[in-house]
Amino acid sequence: MRAAVYRRFGGPDVVRLEEQPKPIPSRGEVLVKVGAATVSAADYRARTKNVPRGLKLLSSVTLGFITPRIPVLGMDIAGVVESVGPDVTRFKPGDEVMAMLGGTFGGHAEYVTVPQDGAVTAKPANLTFEEAAALVFGGITAQAFLGRTSMGPGMSVLVNGASGAVGTAAVQLAHIAGAHVTAVCSGANADLVRSLGAETVIDYTKDDFTQTGAAYDIIVDCVGNVPFRQLQPLIKPGGALLSVIADLPGVLTAGVRSRRTGIHITAGNVPFIAADLAHIAQLAAAGLFRPVIDRAFDLSDIAEAHRHVSTGRKTGNIVVRVAAPSTQEPTIETR
């Protein structure tokens, strides 16, 4: 099978296509023929080892110290179950699925094995594989964080980094829940986030959202560029701070800060579960949640996909078509 492999850490050009053995599903696993995946910020961090402060040593245990331990990146997929291992009961060959592979990666290949009890669910029938893949990373991450809050109608939610993969998902989930959503992004993406449900948009190139005088029930920080001391006054008593991007000090002090301030802080990694992904799939099937795709590349052009992610200026998701390009065009949201 074809796979996008990197043998050393570095820039986009370290990722190259190679022939790899086709995996065989073990007990409890399904073999998925991948239709599409994405190149995410997590793939960028793994490829470059550009991780938040204090996490380089810990991340090296998983990613490798000198050379990559996991040569095939890709945290999310959408595809078709080709075969199943022993004791698999949830899925059968021919099922269309989407999955969050998480830290095991492997999605940038024509085939990948997925545990049936992992973060995998049925693909919405009304979406292409490209569109379904674009739901996974941002959708399951946003749901995992927001699911730890009491978000509901009438609440105020600010999303910092609202035009990225997680940000566009968080805006939609908060809007669906009936919250008033304030989105922080560049002015170029203001129309996009409004179309997703944001009622207020703050252009970070012109205004500092920490200086507006507003307070929020929930802040979703998808960027990690504002220290806690500046965010704390913006959060209402008993509110929540969801730090999607957090450095090691932020992770280690979250519990203490929560107890000291009364703010419910979730920082760093959260578990990825099938129920959260299924929730996103159900919303998408009902037309309530939509994938946001910046650009789509063929697997043969994956270095260019990495190059675009490396700019830090992607909108939504960068999709990689892994199987033969579909005749059905994905829905592409432009800046």
Q: Assign residue 280 the CATH number of its domain.
A: 3.90.180.10
Q: Which of 232, 249, 267 is the last residue of a domain?
A: 267
Q: 127 and 171: one domain?
A: no
Tell whether pTM > 0.75: yes
Nearest-angstrom CA–CA distance, 107 and 76: 6
Q: Which pair of tokens denotes residue 87?
A: 């004791």
Q: 169 and 219: one domain?
A: yes
Residue 210 lies in a domain: yes
Q: 35 and 131: one domain?
A: yes
Nearest-angstrom CA–CA distance, 233 and 284: 35
pLDDT of residue 332: 35
- For 334, other C-beta atoms within 10 Å of its C-beta total 12
**Residue (of 180, 154, 179, 184) closest to 168 by Cα position:** 184
Q: Which pair of tokens denotes residue 283?
A: 């919303």
- Low-confidence stretches of the chain (pLDDT < 50) are 325-335
Give the Å distances, CA to CA, from 14 to 63, 198, 271, 307, 309: 15, 38, 30, 11, 14
- Interhelix angle 274-285/129-146, nearest 10 degrees: 120
Q: 132 and 276: one domain?
A: yes
Range of the domain at 74: 2-137+272-321
- First-to-final CA distance of the chain: 35
Q: 254 and 278: one domain?
A: no
Q: Which pair of tokens denotes residue 203?
A: 């252009």
Reduce the DSSP state of residue 36 to 3 states and report it.
Answer: strand
Q: 98 and 186: one domain?
A: no
Residue 64 lies in a domain: yes
Q: 6 and 98: one domain?
A: yes
Residue 259 lies in a domain: yes
Q: 259 and 182: one domain?
A: yes
pLDDT of residue 88: 98
Q: 198 and 243: one domain?
A: yes
Q: 256 and 291: one domain?
A: no
pLDDT of residue 324: 52
- Interhelix angle 302-310/41-48, nearest 10 degrees: 90
Residue 329 lies in a domain: no
pLDDT of residue 30: 99
CA atoms within 13 A on the CB side of 258: 15
The CATH number of the domain holding residue 262 is: 3.40.50.720
pLDDT of residue 331: 37
**Residue (of 181, 172, 164) closest to 224 by Cα position:** 164
pLDDT tens-digit series, residues 186-211:
999 999 999 999 999 999 999 999 99
Q: 235 and 256: one domain?
A: yes
pLDDT of residue 58: 86
Residue 284 lies in a domain: yes
Q: Give the angle subtended at the CA of 73 by the CAs of 88 and 107, to the nearest 5°.
A: 35
Residue 172 lies in a domain: yes
Q: 277 and 131: one domain?
A: yes
pLDDT tens-digit series, residues 252-308:
999 999 999 999 999 988 999 999 999 999 999 999 999 999 999 999 999 999 999
Number of domains in the chain: 2
